[in-house]
Amino acid sequence: MGRTQTETITVRVTPEEKYAIQERMYEAVAPSMRHFVMDMCLNGEIIVNSDLRELNSELRYQGNNLNQLTRLAHQGRVTVIDLTELLSVYRKILLTLGGNNNGNR
């Protein structure tokens, strides 16, 4: 008895991303997009970097803080904000990711 496929996964991509995926599918000589995506998802290389998890958490916290400040500013409850600490964290993140600090202050 064959396997029954009852679940669906939907992913939205830009036309450029779709084209790039199709190009890789053709390079791999995959018989179909489904076969290619399944093979890449189930057998593709996964790189785990625990530093990026910590970095992602910090970015999420900082993003929440920035959203709260923006909301308060739009409400007129805050008029002057010192973003020195936030910029410092973003500079550290940029340097960690291998960027440069050309926009130094």
0.75 exceeded by the pTM?
no
Q: Is residue 6 part of a domain?
A: no
Q: Are residues 92 and 55 both part of a single domain?
A: yes
26 three-class SS: helix
Q: Which structural domain range is residue 29 located in?
A: 11-46
pLDDT at 29: 87
DSSP per position, 52-99 = HHHHHHHHHHHHHHHHHHHHHHHTTS------HHHHHHHHHHHHHTT-
- Give the pLDDT confidence of 16-62 residue by residue, as tens digits: 999 999 999 988 888 899 999 999 999 988 777 777 777 778 888 88
Q: Are 82 and 37 in contact (CB under 8 A)?
A: no
Instruction: Identify whether residues 54 and 42 lie together within a single domain.
Output: no
